[in-house]
Amino acid sequence: MWNRLGLILVALAAALLLWILVSGIAQAPERLKLGLTSSFLMIRGPYKYTRNPMYVAELGLWLGWAIFFGSAGVFIGGLVLWSVVELVILPREERGLEAAFGPTYLQYKNSVPRWVGKTKK
């Protein structure tokens, strides 16, 4: 039974990644400027429910595989990944987005949770 629960989490995470891809293609302007900070702010699709759907999906994959394989090592790897994302990556990304988009990003940041949860409207 636990194996099936793990596969359900993996399938949900994979579906979220697919939704992110489709949503990103639909929202992207015709011309993009590539760089470390996005040239446009995605706020539709999965980005209405979490500011970081790609990290949510990635961590969902780690948790699903940990449950599927019954692996403490994979679970600990997921915890390490979550810690690095939470403490290092996201603060840096948020500072960059705030600098790039100013009040628009701050309004988005104040209304959509960092991870998953109830929106703050």
Span 79-118, pLDDT tens digits = 999 999 999 999 999 999 999 999 999 999 999 999 987 7
Span 17-48, pLDDT tens digits = 999 999 988 887 777 676 666 778 889 999 99
CA distance 112 to 46: 11
Q: Contact, 114 vs 51, CB < 8 A? A: yes
* Euclidean distance between the first and the last CA atom of the chain, given in angstroms as a whole number: 38
Q: Return the pLDDT at 36.
A: 64
Span 59-70, pLDDT tens digits = 999 999 999 999
Q: How many helices (H) and strands (E) does the chain have?
A: 5, 0
CA distance 68 to 47: 28
The 3-state DSSP class for residue 16 equals helix
- Can you give the pTM of this predicted structure? 0.85
